[in-house]
Amino acid sequence: MFNQYFQPNDILIIYPELLLALFAMGVMIIDLFLDRAWKVLNAFTALVGIAYAAYALYRLKSNALNLSGYNHAILNDSFAIYFQFVFLIATALVILISARYLSIEGENRGDYYALILLSLIGMNFMVMGIDLITLYIALELMAVSEYILVGYLRTNRQSNEAAMKFFLLGAFSSGILLYGISLLYGISGSTDLRVIAQRLAERPSHDPIALVAVVTLTAGLLFKIGGVPFHQWLPDAYEGAPSTITTFISVAPKAASFALILRIFIVGLKPLETSWVPVLSVVCVLTMTLGNITAISQSNIKRLLAYSSIAHAGYLLLGLIAGNEYGITGIAIYFLVYAFMNIGIWTLVVAMRRKDLIGDQIQDMAGMIYKNPGAAVLMLVFLLSLAGIPPTAGFIGKYYLFASVIQTHHYVLAVIAVLNAAISLYYYFRVVVVMFMSEKTDEEKMTLSPGVLTSLAVTLVFTLLIGIYPEPFIRFAQNSLSLFQ
């Protein structure tokens, strides 16, 4: 029953995504028939879907299948599979912390989970795609789901404003990206990144059309990861979005966008390396520095973490600039680490939310060590990890990224990066000081739902484990090196 357009293999290599799609629709439909008290079932359904998809992905990884499908539009290599695992982990953790938060916000509906799963599908295709059209559609699937999720608190003005901004600017940047894609197609006559690379290599260097294509692609993609000067939507969106969604978009879509950047730049635009490396170096320095310096003066923890996440995007660009095996491994391991430490810290921010307290001011954490010693210590661990202090996982990630640029002799970049890491200590420790040194302002303790507790336990264990015993995780991350093949 198959023909030249479809192979049985095609279905198999996107089996995890098919499952996710099924569950996304399932959650949406099941939700319609659930009582208010049973809405938590939606989270379970979504988690089952993710577990199922993870299992399918695992089977896919262990079976030696032909990983290319759909007329070479999709390449489910070990790079893609690695990143898909990161997305699955991040999404599962976010779903764990969502149920309680949503019921406090009074927005406990199934389409929330459906949208998260759809966004996850988009991300999975973003890392699998090797064809620009596939990549673009996957990107839009992810982005559109995010726009809605950011504005999910319908009665909250801030949330709506954030969603509107995010949507307008996202659409704008997508337009620019699409322009770059069309130029590449115009140059090479193909949307397959590998073919594009061949055609670009045949063309003279400093080809103006190719340069314009690089610029527009860079601008469009940097927008997604919040690179300076395309970062301005990010703090507004992070602050306005529901905290759980901020948790989500600060990790998974960022990793997906970065994987997409890696595919496009390392595979497709490799011949133009000499022109994009200097551009990205400048952007990288600006991103790290501006992110860190602006973070210093923030009083809102969500905004502080938003700027910190901009700075982290800067560190991650180091790996791309190096473009060697160390750099790619560094980016891969960094996102795994980032998924744990960042979700860990955001989980605590989410847990601060009470009926009467939004809990997003740094001052709300005053004297946390007296009220919730456990939470304060956890926060300390995650902050240390974000700052990259051993023996936490963050150190391993930074080590690989910084080492990669040293290997490629970008010493100035390495020095600036290290200086930035030092600056970042300042504002991370400001939070620590407030938690540990200030007097508490009220007596009310945090209540932690089982989901939040699970998420905290998992993130803490892995943040420490990767820091103390990084070996297996690094080997896992080295899967991403299939990018070079």
Partner 1 sequence: MEPRTYLWLIPILPLLGATLNGVLGRRFSRAAVSAIALLSTGLSCALAIFEVVTLSDVFPIIERHFTWIQAGSLRVGYDLLLDPLSSVMVLVVTVVGLLIHIYSVGYMAHEEGPNFGGFYRFFSYMNLFMFAMLTLVLANNYVLMFVGWEGVGLCSYLLIGFYFRKQSASDAGKKAFITNRIGDFGLTLGLFSLFWMFGTLDYQPIFARAAAMPVEPLHQFGALTIITLLLFIGATGKSAQIPLYVWLPDAMEGPTPVSALIHAATMVTAGVYMMARSNVLFSHAPTTLLIVAVIGAITALFAGTMGLVQRDMKRILAYSTISQLGYMFLACGVGAYAAGIFHLMTHAFFKALLFLAAGSVMHAMRGELDIFKMGGLRKKMATTYWTFLIASLAIAGIPGFSGFFSKDEILWRAFNSPEYGRLLWAVGWITAGLTALYMFRIVFVAFHGEFRGGDEAWHHAHESPRVIRVPLVLLAVGALLAGYVQVPKFIFGGVEKFSDFLAPVFASTTTHGVAETAVNGGHHLELGLTALSVLIALAGIGIAYLVFRAKPERADLLEQKLKPLHSLLFHKYWIDELYSTLFIRPIQFLSTWVLWKIVDLFVIDGLGVNGSGFVVRGLGRGLRHLQSGRVRAYAGWVVLGAVLIVAFLVFKV
Partner 2 sequence: MIIPIFTGPPANKNLTPLEGQTYSLCFGHAWPHFAFDSDMLRSYLPILVQLILVSLVGFAIIALSYLVGKHKPTPEKLMPYECGVRPTGGAHERFPVKFYLVAMLFILFDVEVVFLYPWAVIYRELLFFGFFEMLTFILVVLAGYVYIWKKGALDWNKN
Q: Which residues bind partner 1 (CB under 8 A)?
A: 164-165, 168-169, 172-173, 176, 206, 211-212, 214-216, 218-219, 222-223, 229-230, 232-233, 235-236, 275, 278-279, 282, 290, 293-294, 296-297, 469-471, 474
Could you tell me the smallest distance in angstroms from the CB atom of residue 259 to partner 2?
A: 26
| Beta-carbon contacts of residue 369 (< 8 Å; ≥ 6 apart) | 376, 377, 435, 436
User: Looking at beta carbons, which pairs linking 197-203 to residues 24 or more positions away fall under 8 Å?
Assistant: 197/267, 197/268, 197/269, 197/270, 197/271, 200/268, 200/269, 200/271, 200/272, 201/271, 203/271
Contact call for residues 139 and 225 (beta carbons, < 8 A): no
Could you tell me the smallest distance in angstroms from the CB atom of residue 247 to partner 1?
A: 22
Q: Which is nearer to partner 1, 79 or 230 (CB)?
A: 230
Task: Give phi and psi for 230, each to the nearest 5.
Answer: -110, 30
28 lies in the binding site for partner 2 (CB under 8 A): yes
144 lies in the binding site for partner 2 (CB under 8 A): no
356 lies in the binding site for partner 2 (CB under 8 A): no
What residue 453 binds from partner 1, partner 2, none (CB within 5 to 8 A, per partner kind)?
Answer: none
155 lies in the binding site for partner 2 (CB under 8 A): no
Could you tell me the smallest distance in angstroms from the CB atom of residue 135 to partner 1?
A: 20
Q: Is the peptide bond before 229 cis (omega within 30 degrees of 0)?
A: yes
What residue 450 binds from partner 2, partner 1, none (CB within 5 to 8 A, per partner kind)?
Answer: none
Q: Which is nearer to partner 2, 64 or 204 (CB)?
A: 204
Could you tell me the smallest distance in angstroms from the CB atom of residue 71 to partner 2?
A: 8
Tell me how far apart the alpha carbons of residues 28 and 118 are, in angstroms, rounded to a whole number: 11
Size of the site for partner 2 (CB under 8 A): 21
What residue 188 binds from partner 1, partner 2, none (CB within 5 to 8 A, per partner kind)?
Answer: partner 2
| Beta-carbon contacts of residue 389 (< 8 Å; ≥ 6 apart) | 395
> Position 386: which residue type?
L
| Beta-carbon contacts of residue 316 (< 8 Å; ≥ 6 apart) | 225, 258, 331, 334, 335, 401
What residue 216 binds from partner 2, partner 1, none (CB within 5 to 8 A, per partner kind)?
Answer: partner 1
Nearest to 54 by CA among 15, 27, 26: 15
Site for partner 2 in 380-409 (CB under 8 A): none
Contact call for residues 85 and 57 (beta carbons, < 8 A): yes
Q: Which of 133, 209, 419, 437 binds partner 2 (CB under 8 A)?
A: 209
What residue 312 binds from partner 2, partner 1, none (CB within 5 to 8 A, per partner kind)?
Answer: none
Tell me how far apart the alpha carbons of residues 130 and 133 are, in angstroms, rounded to a whole number: 9
| Beta-carbon contacts of residue 424 (< 8 Å; ≥ 6 apart) | 292, 295, 308, 311, 386, 387
226: left (phi over 0), alpha (psi -120 to 50) or beta: left
Contact call for residues 214 and 275 (beta carbons, < 8 A): yes
CB atoms within 10 A of CB 62: 8
What's the length of the chain? 485
5 lies in the binding site for partner 2 (CB under 8 A): yes
Which span (58-66, 186-194, 355-363, 460-468) binds partner 2, by CB under 8 A?
186-194
35 lies in the binding site for partner 2 (CB under 8 A): no
207 lies in the binding site for partner 2 (CB under 8 A): yes
Q: Which is nearer to partner 2, 5 or 35 (CB)?
A: 5
Tell me how far apart the alpha carbons of residues 204 and 183 are, in angstroms, rounded to a whole number: 16
Q: Which of 208, 274, 439, 443 binds partner 2 (CB under 8 A)?
A: 208
| Secondary structure element (H or E) that encloses residue 18, with its range | helix 15-32
Q: Which of 29, 282, 457, 468 binds partner 2 (CB under 8 A)?
A: 29
> Position 152: which residue type?
Y
Could you tell me the smallest distance in angstroms from the CB atom of residue 384 to partner 2?
A: 45
Q: Which is nearer to partner 2, 35 or 204 (CB)?
A: 204
Could you tell me the smallest distance in angstroms from the CB atom of residue 434 to partner 2?
A: 44
296 lies in the binding site for partner 2 (CB under 8 A): no
Q: Which is nearer to partner 1, 81 or 222 (CB)?
A: 222
CB atoms within 10 A of CB 419: 13
CA angle 312, 313, 315 (to 5 degrees): 60
6 lies in the binding site for partner 2 (CB under 8 A): yes
CB atoms within 10 A of CB 243: 25
440 lies in the binding site for partner 2 (CB under 8 A): no
Which span (50-58, 94-102, 183-191, 372-380) binds partner 2, by CB under 8 A?
183-191
Could you tell me the smallest distance in angstroms from the CB atom of residue 158 to partner 2?
A: 22
End-to-end CA distance of the chain: 33
Site for partner 2 in 187-206 (CB under 8 A): 187-189, 199, 203-204
What residue 411 binds from partner 2, partner 1, none (CB within 5 to 8 A, per partner kind)?
Answer: none
Provide the binding-site residues for partner 2, judged by CB under 8 A. Answer: 1-3, 5-6, 21, 25, 28-29, 32, 185-189, 199, 203-204, 207-209
